[in-house]
Structures are given as structure tokens and as C-alpha cells.
């Protein structure tokens, strides 16, 4: 099965598996909020036109399947600022005239600015919620289990006095099993100033050591005087109860969001190498997803592919909130300008802005794609 994901075919399949469902979830968020706020969606498309077939119709929405498998879209009533709004002619049949009037009442630009902001926010929010749900599911179904290893020992610390050694694997503290790095800090803080037993594995043997964690250690040394890290256990998964999964999932999404938003500042300050912060396009995403799928098959576990889906969903949410037309953030920026001016931009001005921004985005995407092809993402750990 994993052979399917080798080469160009594998990258194409990986793209379909990795990004398209996330885009459809994003568009479904717009669709749900549009319906909630009374805006009609004329079409919900899977893929981009030309159309293959109409799958079904639900109320006023046609659900369609299209030939270009690069995402999806929601086409809302009156969505374009540039649609010609001709006067209603007297010779239009009454039934058709009534339909046109009803459609105008449910068009996007008949909605209040606040409702339009909600519609544009709904897509990124759906991606954030999906990422959070996937992280919670990942912790609940199993993440790679780690052994906690001592990486550094501070001289003249309680750990040094107890003859702990770099490379010792901490198995238990006061007979409480250590399953993750955070357990070490939690158990030590509960034993400050008290004799504490540490069960470690050293050179294949189990050793019991005793130390007294300091209540007031020197700055930067910690109560015990050790720095610990994690080494994955081959083939073992650690499953958390639902409560912990919800807690860890929330913390993970908040941390990743914070790191993504702060990345440009960290690059400017030299804290992140420029090559590590370079943007990745469709080709790069396909390569990364392909590797994750292969790792999932090799490990017989879902966490590699779920992890990349989580990161992609978070990235899609944050990217779409950038205040650049025609992204969701760009639409929201236009609405803010409309509120400040107390009237929308003229169609001609808005069209020029959208056209220029779209051309710039196409050029940027072309550049990123060229980087992906000629300077591929380094997939080695």
C-alpha cells in the first residue's frame, strides 16, 4: 500500500489526502455561517470548475463535483462586488421578479457588516476547531511514548550529590512512574525539602538513588539541578484520558498558534534560521504529507499523518486571516474600511485592489513553487 505514495503519484495523492479536506472544512465553515446569518449559498463546490456534475440540491444550494481537485469553494448570492446591479425592468414576469427581489434580500452584500465579518471568520475558525479536535483525538488514541533521560547535571546540585549521571533514564520518582518530561517537575515540586527516591535505568540495570530537592535553588539551576529530555520508545504509544487530552490539546493549539504568529519576529531577531522559516507551497506540502503517510504505514500508527494535518489546518487558518485580498482577512479589512468610511469602496476601486493583490499573490505562489522544486524541503530529521 505504501508503494502508492512513492514518486509524483504519491505526492499528488498525498496532496489530495492532506490539504483538500482541510480546504473543504474551511469552506463549510463559510457555508454554515452564511446560512446562519440568512445569506444564501448558490453553490458549494468540491474542486474547481469546470463542473463534472451536480451531486444534489439542498434548499437553494447546489452541491457540485468539479474537475480541478485543488480545494473547494462556496459561491454566495450576490458575492461579487462587481456584479451589475441593473434596475428591475417592468416587463419581468411577476414570479421571476419576486425571485430576484428575494435573492437580493439574501445576498452577501445585503447582510450587515458584522454578519459579513462572521461569515469570513467562520472558515479560519473551522480550521482552528478541526486542528484542536485532531490534537485531542491524537492524545486520546495515542502519541509516541518517551523515556525521560537526564541530559545535563549542574555541579554541586542535589542530583550531583546523589551520583546521578547524564544518560540515566528516570523510571520513577517516589515509586510514581515517570511517563513524560512534565512528570519530573511535578513530582519534584511535590517533594521539596524532603528525601526523594529516584529509580533510574543505567547501562541496562535499575538503580535506586536518593536526593533532597531544594526549596530555594540558585537561579537557573532548578530544585534538583538536572535538565531532562525525551527519547521515543520504539513502537509504544501513550494514551491519555479524555480530560488530559482536552487540556493538552488546547495547550498545544495555543502554543503552535503563538509560535506561528511570533515566527517573523524571531527570524528578524535571528532566533530562527531563515531557511527554517521559508514558506512552503503546494509541492512542499505534498512532499511533507507524502513522508508523513509513509511514516504512518511504517509505524502502523496514525500520529504522523494526523500531526501534519494538525499543522496544515492551523497554518491554513492563520494564513487566511492575513489582511490581504482576496483572503478572508482581506475581506474583513475591506469591511473595516467600509465601517470607517460609512460606505463601501466603489466597485472600480475595490476591483483594482483585488486585481493587483491577486496578481501579487500569484507571483508569490509561483516563486514559492519554484523554491519547492529547485530547493526541496529538507525532510531528513
Pairwise pLDDT comparison (369 vs 40), residue with the higher score? 40
How far apart, in whole angstroms, are the C-alpha atoms of residue 353 and residue 342?
A: 19
More confident residue, 378 or 185: 185
DSSP 28-78: HHHHHHHHHTTPPEEEEEEEEEEEEEEEEEETTEEEEEEEEEEEEEEEETT
Q: What is the pLDDT of residue 320?
A: 92
Which tops the pLDDT comparison, 174 or 11?
174
* Range in 10-14, 48-52, 272-276 with the lowest mean pLDDT: 10-14
Select which of 27, 83, 180, 351 is catalytic: 27
Cα 111 to its chain centre, rounded Å, is 30
Quick check: helix, strand or coil at residue 178? coil
Report percent pLDDT > 90 for the chain: 43
The band of 18, judged by pLDDT with boundaries at 50, 70 and 90, is low
Residues 6+ apart with CB under 8 A from 218: none
- Indicate whether 44 pLDDT > 90: yes
- 18, β-bridge pairs: none
Task: Output the pLDDT for position 379.
Answer: 55
Position 15 confidence tier, pLDDT thresholds 50, 70, 90:
low
How far apart, in whole angstroms, are the C-alpha atoms of residue 99 and residue 17? 40
Q: Contact, 75 vs 43, CB < 8 A?
A: yes
Which phi and psi angles does 49 have, rounded to 5°?
Answer: -55, 155
pLDDT band at 129 (very low <50, low <70, confident <90, very high): very high
Tens of pLDDT, residue by residue over 88-124, are 445 567 677 677 778 788 888 889 999 999 999 999 9
3-state helix, strand, coil in the chain (%, to 5): 50, 20, 25
pLDDT, residue 82, reads: 43
Over 80: is that where the pLDDT of 144 sits?
Answer: yes
Please indicate, yes or no, whether the overall pTM of this predicted structure exceeds 0.85.
no
Taken in order of first residue, the domains within the chain and their CATH numbers are 112-142+240-381 (no CATH), 144-238 (2.30.42.10)
Q: Which residue bears the cell 487530552?
A: 245
Mean pLDDT of 225-241: 86
**pLDDT tens column, 149-163:** 999 999 999 999 999
| pLDDT score recorded for residue 377 | 67
Residue 98 cell numbers, joined: 419576486
pLDDT in tens, 293-341: 777 777 777 788 888 899 889 989 998 999 988 899 999 999 999 899 8
Q: So what's the pLDDT on residue 54?
A: 94
Whether 27 is catalytic is: yes
* Spatial distance between the Cα atoms of 377 and 360, rounded to a whole number of angstroms: 23
Q: What is the mean pLDDT of residues 133-147?
A: 91
- The per-residue pLDDT for 2 is 47
* pLDDT at residue 247 greater than cutoff 90: yes
| Amino acid 242: pLDDT | 94
Alpha carbon 182 to its chain centroid, in Å, reads 24
Does the pLDDT of residue 7 top 60, yes or no? no
Judge whether 23 and 71 are in contact, CB under 8 Å. yes
Amino acid at each position: 500500500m505504501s508503494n502508492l505514495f512513492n514518486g509524483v503519484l504519491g505526492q499528488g495523492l498525498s496532496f489530495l489526502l492532506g490539504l483538500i479536506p482541510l480546504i473543504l472544512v474551511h469552506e463549510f465553515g463559510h457555508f454554515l455561517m452564511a446560512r446562519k446569518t440568512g445569506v444564501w449559498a448558490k453553490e458549494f463546490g468540491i474542486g474547481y470548475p469546470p463542473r463534472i456534475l451536480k451531486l444534489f440540491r439542498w434548499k437553494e444550494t447546489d452541491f457540485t463535483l468539479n474537475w480541478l481537485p485543488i480545494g473547494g469553494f462556496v459561491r454566495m448570492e450576490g458575492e461579487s462586488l462587481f456584479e451589475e446591479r441593473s434596475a428591475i425592468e417592468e416587463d419581468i414576469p411577476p414570479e421571476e421578479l419576486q425571485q430576484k427581489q428575494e435573492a437580493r434580500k439574501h445576498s452577501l452584500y445585503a447582510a450587515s457588516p458584522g454578519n459579513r465579518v462572521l461569515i469570513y471568520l467562520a472558515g479560519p475558525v473551522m480550521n482552528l476547531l478541526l486542528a484542536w479536535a485532531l490534537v485531542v483525538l491524537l492524545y486520546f488514541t495515542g502519541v509516541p511514548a518517551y523515556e525521560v533521560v537526564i541530559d545535563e547535571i549542574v555541579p554541586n546540585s542535589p542530583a550531583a550529590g546523589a551520583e546521578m549521571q547524564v544518560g540515566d533514564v528516570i523510571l520513577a520518582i517516589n515509586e510514581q512512574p515517570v511517563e513524560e518530561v512534565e512528570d519530573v517537575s511535578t513530582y519534584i515540586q511535590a517533594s521539596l525539602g524532603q528525601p526523594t527516591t529516584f529509580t533510574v535505568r543505567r547501562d541496562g540495570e535499575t538503580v535506586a538513588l536518593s536526593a533532597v530537592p531544594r526549596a530555594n535553588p540558585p537561579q537557573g539551576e532548578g530544585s534538583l539541578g538536572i535538565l531532562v529530555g525525551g527519547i521515543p520508545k520504539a513502537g509504544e504509544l501513550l494514551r491519555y484520558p479524555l480530560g488530559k487530552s482536552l487540556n493538552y490539546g488546547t495547550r498545544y493549539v495555543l502554543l503552535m498558534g503563538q509560535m506561528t504568529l511570533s515566527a517573523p519576529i524571531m527570524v528578524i531577531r535571528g532566533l530562527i534560521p531563515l531557511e527554517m522559516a521559508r514558506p512552503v507551497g503546494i509541492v512542499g506540502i505534498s512532499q511533507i504529507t507524502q513522508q508523513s503517510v509513509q511514516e504512518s504505514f511504517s509505524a502502523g500508527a496514525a500520529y504522523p499523518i494526523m500531526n501534519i494535518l494538525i499543522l496544515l489546518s492551523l497554518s491554513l487558518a492563520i494564513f487566511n486571516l492575513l489582511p490581504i485580498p482576496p483572503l478572508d482577512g482581506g475581506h474583513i479589512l475591506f469591511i473595516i474600511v467600509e465601517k470607517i468610511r460609512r460606505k463601501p469602496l466603489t466597485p472600480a476601486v475595490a476591483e483594482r485592489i483585488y486585481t493587483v493583490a491577486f496578481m501579487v499573490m500569484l507571483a508569490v505562489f509561483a516563486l514559492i513553487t519554484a523554491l519547492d522544486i529547485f530547493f526541496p524541503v529538507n525532510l531528513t530529521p
